[in-house]
Structure 1
Amino acid sequence: MNLPLIIVVLYIAALFAISAYARKLAAAGSEGFILAGRQLTTPLIAVTITGLAIGGASTIGVAEQAYSVGLAAGWYNVAWGAGAILMGLVAASRYRKLNISTLPELFEKLYDTKGRVLCVFSQMLILLVITSMQYIAGGAILASLLPDIFTLKTGMVMSAVVFVGITFVGGMWSAGLSNILNVILIYGGIIVAAIATLGQQGGLSSIAIKLPQEVPYLHFVNGLGLTAIVGWFAVMMTQTLSLQATVQIACGAKDEKQAKRGFVLGGLLMLPIGFLAAIMGIAAKAAYPDISATMALPNIIMSLNPVIAGITLAALWAADVSTACSLLLGTSTLFVQDIYKRFIQPEADDQKLMTMSKITIIILGAVTFISSLTVVSILKTLLVFLSLTTAFTVTILFTIFFPGLCRKNSAFVTIIAGIGVLLLWQFVPAIRIVPHVIYLEWIVCVITFLGVAVVDPVKTSILAES
């Protein structure tokens, strides 16, 4: 009897059953599909933002990093949690109050059309890259879980089919409701697997003896260094304030209080998972010193009891599902609301917009799968592209706290500056005068925004309710 296969089949069946129910809730129109009819409660927001955060990067990616640097890799999830809490305290209720669907829509309301256009293309690029990484993690999980059935590539194909299918059927309701199951499965599976792994290998002290001594595997900071960890916090606290996938969850809240509380609760839920994944990455290094780092977590889990292994790897796959669904929906919403509806067919009715959302999800699923074949390091790639959200976050923070400094061209010029920094960082190594691109992004974007305030006489009309 192939227990892992049975567990995966049951999990997929449960997901599609939930999505079928979600389809009825989303049938009210495009807003029901992309924003759950703005009816998300605190618990649903909490599990949706947690599901978005705890994906391939937060499990497979953290274990991959821990395989090389140790426990310090676990700070990635703490940084994500800090970002979600900050979003809840600073911006989530404000986004909900503005009654928008996308961040670019807000940029046009507050600034200008060219700011909206640049924002939508930048946001789509970021989301597409992050989505691509979920296929890699999903493929690695299925290849380890069912090696007689899946290779890495066929596992990626299966992951893509499930990601796209669930999002296509129920939209935001699918993401929210399926994340109740996903988060329970993720936490239960990873906690049980971490305990079982430590027990199987004789505890951390026994694992430590087998590890290379030149790397401080069991130190909470030294494997990466404080500078790199602070950089993670800067990236994640920046992106949660202005990434379309997080903004869309806030906009789907039932009211402002639910938006705020949901993000804070979700942030707290994220905190422990990274270190549990890191412990298993370290255990994999001790047990399998020569395997691919990406396969570290799946391999260590498959060494456990078949039932525990099946449930845990299904849980890791659930983490991928929850993240990919929110990302695909966010990217589709950007295209439909900010390109199709705004510039191609402004007169499109609600049914047409919903149809376009579903078509776009299928197309984006294919595009992200193809691009996933070129992604190498999960965390490294993710952190570089997320740094591009600095320009959006700087604009949002000035809009909220210093509206008198906002000018008509502020958003557009600041985004241009942010893109310029990222390109220079990639292709002109001489400008790497700080440890991570996020620091340079903040310096340049803040200076640019203030510079526009000095030279541009045309003030923007910031909405009174913002």
Structure 2
Amino acid sequence: MLELLAQAPSAADKDANYGTLIALVIFIAASVWLGTLAQRVVKKSSFVKGFFLGNRGLGAWAVALTATVQSGGTFMGFPSLVYTHGWIVALWIGSYMVVPITGFGLIGKRIAHISRHTGAITMPDLFRARFASPTLGLITSLLIIVFMSAMMVAQFKAGATVMKLAAPSGNFLSLSEDAETQSDQLYWIGLAVFSITVVGYTLIGGFLAAVWTDLFQSVMMFIGVLALLGLSLYSVGGLEKASRGAVVSAQQAAENAEARRAAKEMREPQPVSENAGLAFISGPGFSNDGRQYLPLTLAVSFFFFWPATGFASPASVTRIMACKDTRTLRRSVVLLCAYNLGIYLPLIAICICARSLMPDLEKPDEVIPRMAMKMTDGLPGGSLLAGVILAAPFGAIMATVSSYLVVISSGLVRDVYQRFINPHATDRQLQWLARCGMLTVGVIAVVLNIRPVVYLQTLVVFASGGAGACFIVPCLMLCYWRRATAVGVGAAMLSGAATMITVYTVGMFTPDPMIGPIAGLRPFYPFGFEPLIFGVLISAVVGIVVSLNSEPPAEEIVSPLFDAPPLTTEPASPSPAP
């Protein structure tokens, strides 16, 4: 059985992780330093514009590599699904490659134009100005805070887990010799270090700190993933051998699972099909208990899920609003498509190799960190190299948390406090309140992670899908439908959110449909489809019907955003006589 911290470490191995820890400490120090540099730029303009939008100065590389939406789900939740269910998860994530085209291409130019014309700094600002409705801005803020907070809770668990696995396996950090207690203590220490670091540098530099550290971390992700891919394929002997080994591992897992069920039910084990393990390399995915991970209905659902939630993510919309110009946005589409291919496809191959090399992982969320340490074991400077590779998931997690801290803080400070409580607040007051808000959110996330969720990716899917159901249709209405009204858009947001929350609540109290991932937080799947499909459909119907049955927006509000300025007809002034 796999130990909680390492597989039976010997005395000689107890110091093996010092290099890994040193590399992560250097990485953390570099991130904090970038946060201090960002603070200098923030001071060049008003606090609100500088801290929450970076003075609208992002270039193509900054937009592309900081709008990747990589997170703890990318390096821990998603890999755990590949490790558990097999190659079919490649189809589950395949549509993520076109997120830049759907996001930047579909609404990017319009969002950038409207935000500049109205002076909007945050996503709630955008809806408030477009529809001249403070109430709609408040609804947007509250929904962002709810779903982004749920996403952020998952990231704190992921960051703490990486720190725990990177810690030296000696007992000098622990007061207990018991492996499980020591694991808990290392997890709590990792949670504290991660929280202080990411909240700290975001407090210092705000949006630009998040962007600059995200850019640095994105480069580290790319390097780390490609290095781990090469080491994994070399170790297992190629992708074909990895797949064959994974099939054998899956077959053994199916037989072991049947033996455990038989022992629990006090009966003789039933024969397991000789081809049970082949489900690891085919659809609808491998499972020990007859579960269909990705039947056709969910495959279709998730091909829609990621592009839709990608362009409606508040963090992505904020990046678009901060873009320098339209040319920069077009270049970012190409860069981000290539970057996503260079991250997700290698991760799939690495996890297939991991199933062959480490067939008995009890905690699949740890597959990438454990592969980083296993593949570098015995190499010259291997512990340090492991730290460089682990900087990939750690950087993705830090980047996500910092982005969400800025989004949530801006919602609390600008869209709630400044708009409704103290419209004449000074920059100093806003600065103080923004930082208090970030600290409060960080403390809440830490408290909720003392006993973390078991399957990280299910919380990521819930938060992403919830935000998508809230904002996909409203964003399209904001950009392209001049007849849309504030009441209609607000109804679309609330009906989308209500649908997702209702479907997840029903799912927790109904029998397991035996499709999708195993999780306590799971939805009910209407007709076998992902709930986001129905959330978006209901949001669209409600938004359109309510808009058509409410007072049209004033022409002076929509005309400057939808109509080209009139051409001047005055004759040109005569040239002065020489």
Q: TM-score range by the shorter chain?
A: over 0.9
Corresponding residue of 2:428: 351
1:292–1:190 CA distance, 2 compared to 1 (3 A):
same
1:240–1:264 CA distance, 2 compared to 1 (3 A):
farther
1:232-266 Cα distance to aligned partner (Å, 9 max, x none): 33222222333221111111112233234324422
Corresponding residue of 2:11: none
The whole-number CA distance in structure 1 between the counterparts of 2:82 and 2:42 is 40
Q: Is the aligned partner of 1:462 residue 2:532? A: no
1:264–1:353 CA distance, 2 compared to 1 (3 A):
farther
Kindly indicate whether the alpha-carbon contact (under 8 Å) linking 1:394 and 1:445 is maintained by their aligned counterparts in 2. yes
TM-score by length of 1: 0.92
Higher relative contact order (CA 8 A, sep 6+): 1
Corresponding residue of 1:291: 362
Corresponding residue of 2:9: none
1:75–1:59 CA distance, 2 compared to 1 (3 A):
farther
1:388-428 Cα distance to aligned partner (Å, 9 max, x none): 22232212212322323x13310121122112211220223
Corresponding residue of 1:378: 456
Q: Which deviates further from its counterpart, 412-421 or 200-209? A: 200-209
Q: Is the aligned partner of 1:253 residue 2:323? A: yes
Corresponding residue of 1:172: 207
The whole-number CA distance in structure 2 between the counterparts of 1:462 and 1:221 is 48
Q: Which deviates further from its counterpart, 213-222 or 224-233? A: 213-222
The whole-number CA distance in structure 2 between the counterparts of 1:261 and 1:344 is 41
1:237–1:290 CA distance, 2 compared to 1 (3 A):
closer
Q: Is the aligned partner of 1:105 residue 2:125? A: yes
Query: Higher helix share goes to which structure?
Result: 1
Letter aligned with residue 217 of structure 1 = F
Q: Which deviates further from its counterpart, 67-76 or 341-350? A: 67-76
1:43 aligns with one of 61, 68, 81: 61
The whole-number CA distance in structure 2 between the counterparts of 1:408 and 1:138 is 39
User: Matched residues, percent identical?
Assistant: 19
Corresponding residue of 2:535: 441
Q: Paired residues, what number?
A: 463
CA shift for structure 1 position 25: 1.1
Q: Is the aligned partner of 1:156 residue 2:191? A: yes
Q: Which deviates further from its counterpart, 107-116 or 58-67? A: 107-116
Letter aligned with residue 327 of structure 2 = K
CA shift for structure 1 position 458: 4.1
Kindly indicate whether the alpha-carbon contact (under 8 Å) linking 2:127 and 2:478 is maintained by their aligned counterparts in 1. no
CA shift for structure 1 position 190: 1.1
RMSD value, Cα: 2.3
The whole-number CA distance in structure 1 between the counterparts of 2:392 and 2:209 is 17
1:211 aligns with one of 224, 228, 249: 249
Kindly indicate whether the alpha-carbon contact (under 8 Å) linking 1:93 and 1:257 is maintained by their aligned counterparts in 2. no
The whole-number CA distance in structure 2 between the counterparts of 1:452 and 1:386 is 25
Letter aligned with residue 130 of structure 2 = L
The whole-number CA distance in structure 2 between the counterparts of 1:132 and 1:77 is 22
The whole-number CA distance in structure 1 between the counterparts of 2:58 and 2:157 is 30
Letter aligned with residue 535 of structure 2 = E
SS in 2 for 1:62: helix
1:385–1:319 CA distance, 2 compared to 1 (3 A):
closer
Corresponding residue of 1:194: 229
The whole-number CA distance in structure 1 between the counterparts of 2:168 and 2:283 is 34
Q: Which deviates further from its counterpart, 293-302 or 251-260? A: 251-260
CA shift for structure 1 position 326: 1.0
Kindly indicate whether the alpha-carbon contact (under 8 Å) linking 1:66 and 1:279 is maintained by their aligned counterparts in 2. no
The whole-number CA distance in structure 2 between the counterparts of 1:316 and 1:374 is 18
Q: Which deviates further from its counterpart, 273-282 or 30-39? A: 273-282
1:116-136 Cα distance to aligned partner (Å, 9 max, x none): 222111111111111111111
Kindly indicate whether the alpha-carbon contact (under 8 Å) linking 2:489 and 2:547 is maintained by their aligned counterparts in 1. no
| Residue ranges of structure 1 left out of the alignment (5+ in a row) | none
Kindly indicate whether the alpha-carbon contact (under 8 Å) linking 1:407 and 1:457 is maintained by their aligned counterparts in 2. yes
CA shift for structure 1 position 387: 1.9
Corresponding residue of 1:114: 135
Corresponding residue of 1:270: 340
CA shift for structure 1 position 38: 0.9
SS in 1 for 2:429: helix
CA shift for structure 1 position 56: 0.8
Once the two structures are superposed, the pairs formed by residues 47-446 of structure 1 within 5 Å of their partners are: 47-50=65-68, 53-75=69-91, 78-97=94-113, 98-99=115-116, 100-111=120-131, 112-148=133-169, 151-207=186-242, 208-209=244-245, 210-213=248-251, 214-215=276-277, 216-219=279-282, 222=285, 224-286=294-356, 287-305=358-376, 306=382, 307-372=384-449, 373-388=451-466, 389-404=468-483, 406-429=484-507, 432-434=525-527, 435-446=529-540
The whole-number CA distance in structure 1 between the counterparts of 2:398 and 2:90 is 21
The whole-number CA distance in structure 2 between the counterparts of 1:186 and 1:162 is 18
Letter aligned with residue 240 of structure 2 = S
SS in 1 for 2:88: helix
Kindly indicate whether the alpha-carbon contact (under 8 Å) linking 2:469 and 2:497 is maintained by their aligned counterparts in 1. no
The whole-number CA distance in structure 2 between the counterparts of 1:14 and 1:326 is 17
1:35–1:349 CA distance, 2 compared to 1 (3 A):
same
CA shift for structure 1 position 181: 2.1
Kindly indicate whether the alpha-carbon contact (under 8 Å) linking 2:93 and 2:302 is maintained by their aligned counterparts in 1. no
Corresponding residue of 2:267: none
The whole-number CA distance in structure 1 between the counterparts of 2:481 and 2:385 is 52
Kindly indicate whether the alpha-carbon contact (under 8 Å) linking 2:226 and 2:346 is maintained by their aligned counterparts in 1. yes
Q: Which deviates further from its counterpart, 240-249 or 208-217? A: 208-217
Letter aligned with residue 243 of structure 1 = S
1:410–1:41 CA distance, 2 compared to 1 (3 A):
same
SS in 1 for 2:526: coil
Letter aligned with residue 501 of structure 2 = L
The whole-number CA distance in structure 1 between the counterparts of 2:32 and 2:497 is 39
| Residue ranges of structure 2 left out of the alignment (5+ in a row) | 1-14, 174-184, 252-275, 287-293, 377-381, 511-523, 563-578
Kindly indicate whether the alpha-carbon contact (under 8 Å) linking 1:60 and 1:277 is maintained by their aligned counterparts in 2. no
1:320-367 Cα distance to aligned partner (Å, 9 max, x none): 112211111111111111111111111012232233222221111112
